[in-house]
Amino acid sequence: MCGVGPFAGLEFVGGGYVRAFIQVQMSAQDRSPPIPPIPALLETRNITKIFGELKANDSVDFAIQKGEIHALLGENGAGKSTLVKILFGSLQQTDGSVLWNGESVHVDSPSQAKALGIGMVFQHFSLFEALTVAENIALSFGSDVELADISERARDLSHQYGLPLDPDALVGDLSVGERQRIEIIRCLMQDPALIILDEPTSVLTPQEANTLFETLFRLRDEGRSILYISHRLEEVQRLCSAATIMRHGKVVDACDPREETAGSLASKMVGAEIEGIEHKFAGEVGDVFLELNHLSLPSDHPFAISLKDISLKVHAGEVVGVAGIAGNGQGELFGAVSGEDVQDNPSAVRMCGEDAGAKGISSRRALGAAFIPEERLGHGAVPELPLTDNLLLARHASDKSSFLSLGGLSVIARGAINSATKKVVEAMDVRKSAENPPAGALSGGNLQKFIMGRELDREPKLLVVNQPTWGVDAGAAANIRQALIDLAANGSAVLVISQDLDEIFEVASSIAVMADGRLTQPVPASELTREQIGLMMAGTDLGSGAAA
Amino acid sequence: MDVWISIIISICAASTPLLIAATGELVVERSGVLNLGVEGMMVMGAVAAFSVAQLTGNPYLGAIAAIFVGALFSMLFAFLTLTLVANQVATGLALTILGLGLSGMIGEGFVGQPGIRMENIHIPVLTDLPVVGKLIFGQDLIFYISIALVFGVGWFLFKTHAGLMLRSVGDSHSSAHALGIKVIQIRYLAILFGGACAGLAGAHLSLVYVPQWVEGMTAGRGWIALALVVFASWRPGRVLIGAYLFGAVTIGQFHVQAIGVAIPAQFLTSLPYLATIVVLVLIARNRRLTMINTPASLGQPFVPDR
């Protein structure tokens, strides 16, 4: 059954080699005597998963030792998620076996995985929006645990690990960052031997990520193992003592990330070098395409953040980045700018020289604006509908003349939509499994590229995007960021809301910071340091001084 | 004074079947399943209760038979929609049509026969108390069950772990599945409970409210129960308010008609429906509360990801 693939030698010898390889690596680091005969905590042999004609996993062999932080690297669609789902019991492998502590196990369901001691923090959270934080956590436990105890333990754990959580808050009211905290706390409360983390830091501030790393090191020192899936190679190098790299469903390499460079890891992942981001800012800016004048928006429910007196100008030719910790009003700001929340005062939001505050989403788009929300599934795209329909749904009003025919009858012009979809897919290099798959069938990065391409194709004068590369792999993220910069270079105004400071520094020409519903004045990125932004996140406005 | 007591008791009798059926359906819908077959299960319960009471002479055996038949009938729905993943709306409608037809056929021989009434309970001393005696200690057994049921369901849904699991399945069955919660099993049990409640509601109609058998005697009460659940935004307390409002207006309009007020009878007959819906819509104005309570996966078929 050992695959005889073209990759990296490993496959010729199979799982035992990988295990030995990693153990050698481990013992070399620990300077301990040669490999003791203890089995790996978890090992897979020849795991193969076939969906229709697609081999999502092809004879995957890898092993995680006790007390190890092990990275699983690979581009979108490399088969990481499939492998992890098999380990966690949400999917069943077509072939191959899983060994837990050296014994062959069949993980039929997530509850069985939990009983073994495997915990999982998902990238797409499996949370119940209508329930409170404590109720969500309680669902992972048996009926013998009192809700009050769970609230208490969740509160304690969350403070202990620096991930503050209000157990009585409704999940529907929380931001993505806060929801992830629930997932992490929920996982930790189950006291697992192996913790699988899928893109855990993508919504955290650098400080929050550091706290998480401290937590992870502590968990490792307690003897737990961690399977860490991330596209951030610097993190992997900092955290992990072993890495398995996947490409096209196969394991192509296993290495110690600390002995690699970010560049060498990236090229192993994608099979080629990743291009750096190229800045083309002219330094001069044009007309004001987005203007917020003392925009205030009271929150419509108790857990939301009110927007307080926000004023901002975004000019043609610049990318303004809005940094800030999750849940400080970024979602509300996006809603107010995109027209999901219409303002009473028409001049509170001005777009392309016109008052847009009283206009709805379609009217704002008709002025030349484009909006890309944070949540791809359910907000940016309808998961069940094919790409063509999603394209039409977003642009039915702004591109009425090209997509709808027969005047008032508004008959859908399938041909025009198909070719526009094709153009977007080609321009953004969207990888898909079928000709016109449902949006939900694309991986996160590919769907984001599609949504981005759908808006860029209109050549908008103003683009507002919330979390452009959340959960997107390095290659796709670089493409998306480059597209944002190119758009501004071609004379559009771009507003990027992101919790990822690296991203903000990469794309933005000037940076504003959001804290507790207020927005500082933007400051040129070149004049700012991370420390200053950290201060601004805590509510100190450096804008007035530094901007002059 | 006695007039008022008897009016209140008749309001209780008019409200009880709605309350029981709606409470059962509330549990079903909280688990994310929309069973439009309430009317059919209710009428099957009514005919089962009447015929068993007729044959054995014991109304309590009739009520037990109704619970059993309602539950059995709901299992047909559960098997079709959960195991065979049939469309819930179409299956529910079919269940109602089947129930109305089948009950008419079974009950053909019982039409016009005198029924056996489930007697009100009588506790010495307590029931003989003035004013409150008959109201609190002198009604039929099913009335007491209905009150216990609505508070029991409220406690179960919001205070127990099993209730939490049921609500989680209704909110997002895929997330619940990912947590290892047995979605299909919970929904089977919820539908079974809903069917048993609908059967008991039917028994109240043919054993207490109008102790006789008339084809189609549920007269749309199953549909009102369904509407009650939605307009009560899936909260048991509001179902109680809605059911009693409906009962009160039903009885009230009878008395108004009897006095001979010059209002068209058709308008008066439609009043209970109108009043109930208007009041519950007003109660449900709070968008946020309604959003929290609405089972997000209501009516969606669940197929585990394989």
Q: What is the pLDDT of residues A408-448, one digit of tens each?
A: 777 888 888 888 898 888 888 888 878 888 888 887 778 88
Phi/psi for A176 (5° steps) reads: -60, -45
Q: How confident is the model at residue A545 (pLDDT cuts 50, 70, 90)?
A: very low
Q: Read off the amino acid at residue A509.
A: S
Q: With a cut of 50, say whether residue A24 has pLDDT above it.
A: no
For position A540, what pLDDT does the model report? 59
Determine, for residues B172 and A129 on separate chains, whether the beta-carbon distance falls below 8 Å. Answer: yes
Find how far residue A547's CA is from the centre of its chain.
31
Q: Is B180 on the interface with A (CB under 8 A)?
A: yes
Question: Residue A12: which pLDDT band, with cuts at 50, 70 and 90?
Answer: very low
Chain B touched by A298 (CB under 8 Å): no
Contact B120, B222 (CB under 8 A): no
Q: Is B174 near chain A, with CB under 8 Å? A: yes
pLDDT for residue A8: 39
Q: Is A111 on the interface with B (CB under 8 A)?
A: yes
Query: Per-residue pLDDT averaged across A513-534, rounded?
Result: 83
What token pair was written down for A286? 């044009």
Q: Which helix (H) or strand (E) holds A39?
A: none
The whole-number pLDDT of residue A539 equals 61
In this complex, the residue of A90, A111, A130 whose CB is nearest that of residue B292 is A130
pLDDT in tens, A79-124: 888 898 899 888 888 899 999 998 899 888 887 888 899 988 876 6
Sign of the alpha-carbon dihedral angle for A266, A267, A272, A274 = positive
d(CA B22, CA A411): 43
pLDDT of residue B77: 97
Nearest to B178 among A110, A112, A129 (CB): A110
Q: Dump pLDDT digits (tens) for A286-337.
A: 888 999 999 888 876 655 678 889 999 999 989 999 988 777 888 889 999 9
CB contact (8 A) between residue A111 and residue B175: no
Distance CA(B127)–CA(B63), nearest Å, equals 23
Residues of B with Cβ-Cβ distance to A170 under 8 angstroms: 292
| Gap between the terminal Cα atoms of chain A | 68
CB atoms A122 and B291 under 8 Å: no
For an interface test with A, which of B161, B184, B233 has the most A Cβ atoms less than 10 Å from its Cβ?
B161
Whether the predicted model's global pTM rises above the 0.95 cut:
no
What is the secondary structure of B220-281 as a DSSP string? THHHHHHHHHHHTTT-HHHHHHHHHHHHHHHHHHHHHHHHT-SS-HHHHHHHHHHHHHHHHH
- CA dist., res. A200 & res. A155, Å (int): 20
In three-state secondary structure terms, A438 is strand
Instruction: Give me the pLDDT at residue A34, please.
Output: 54
Confidence label for A23 from pLDDT (cuts 50, 70 and 90):
very low
- At B212-256, the pLDDT tens digits run 999 999 988 999 999 999 888 899 999 999 999 989 998 988 888
Shortest CA gap A67–chain B (Å): 25
DSSP classification of residue B82: I
* Least trusted range by pLDDT, from A270-274, A460-464, B68-72, B94-98: A270-274
Using an 8 Å CB-CB cutoff, list chain B residues near A301.
Answer: 288
| B189 and A CB contact within 8 Å | no
CATH 3.40.50.300 range(s) for chain A read 275-368+460-548
pLDDT digits (tens, 9 = 90+) for B59-113: 999 999 999 999 999 999 999 999 999 999 999 999 999 999 999 999 999 998 8
* Substitution target from A131, A173, A174 for chain B, most B beta carbons within 10 A: A131
pLDDT of residue B292: 77
Q: Give the closest of B160, B174, B181 to A139, CB-based.
A: B181
CB contact under 8 A, A126 and B179: yes
User: Buried b / exposed e across A218-247, counting CB within 10 Å, b at 16+?
Assistant: ebbeeebbbbbbbbbbebbbebbbbbbbbb
Tell me the average pLDDT across A51-69: 86
Q: How far is A458 from A397, CA to CA, in rounded Å? A: 12
Work out the angle at residue A161's Cα, subtended by the Cα atoms of residues A158 and A164, and round it to the nearest 5 degrees.
Answer: 40
Residue A129 confidence (pLDDT): 84
Mean pLDDT of chain A: 80
Within 8 A by CB and 6+ apart from A434, the residues are: A441
Give the CATH class of B2-293: mainly alpha
| Cβ contacts of A140 on chain B, cutoff 8 Å | 179
The confidence score (pLDDT) of residue A278 equals 62
Write the pLDDT tens digit of every residue in A348-360.
Answer: 999 988 898 888 8
Complex-level ipTM:
0.79
C-alpha to C-alpha distances, A82 to A78, A226, B13, nearest whole angstrom: 9, 17, 58
Q: Identify the closest residue of chain B to A89 by CA–CA distance.
A: B178
Contact list, B167 vs chain A (CB under 8 Å): 128, 130-131
3-state secondary structure (DSSP) of residue B302: coil
Give the rounded percent of residues in chain A with a pLDDT score beyond 70. Answer: 84
Decide: A440 and A235 in contact? Cβ < 8 Å. Answer: no
* B168 in A contact zone (CB under 8 Å): yes
Q: Which of B180, B179, B182 is nearest to A182 (CA)?
A: B179
Distance from CA of B300 to the nearest CA of A (A): 13
- Taking the C-alpha atoms of residue A391 and residue A398, their distance in angstroms, rounded to an integer, is 11
Instruction: Give A-chain residues touching B168 at CB under 8 angstroms.
Output: 128, 131, 135-136, 139
The class of domain A275-368+460-548 in CATH terms is: alpha beta
Chain B residues touching residue A440 (CB < 8 angstroms): none
Q: Does A51 touch chain B (CB under 8 A)?
A: no
Please list every residue in chain A whose beta carbon sits closer than 8 Å to the beta carbon of residue B179.
110-111, 126, 139-140
Sort out which chain A residues have CB atoms less than 8 A from B178's CB and list them.
90, 110, 122, 126
Q: How far apart are CA B60 and CA B70, in angstroms?
A: 15
Q: What's the pLDDT tens digit per position in A393-407?
A: 888 877 777 787 776
- B171:A110 CB<8 A: no
pLDDT single digits (tens) A205-238: 666 778 788 888 888 888 889 999 876 777 888 8
Report strand pairing: A404-405 vs A369-372.
Answer: unpaired
Of B164, B291, B294, the CB nearest to A135: B164
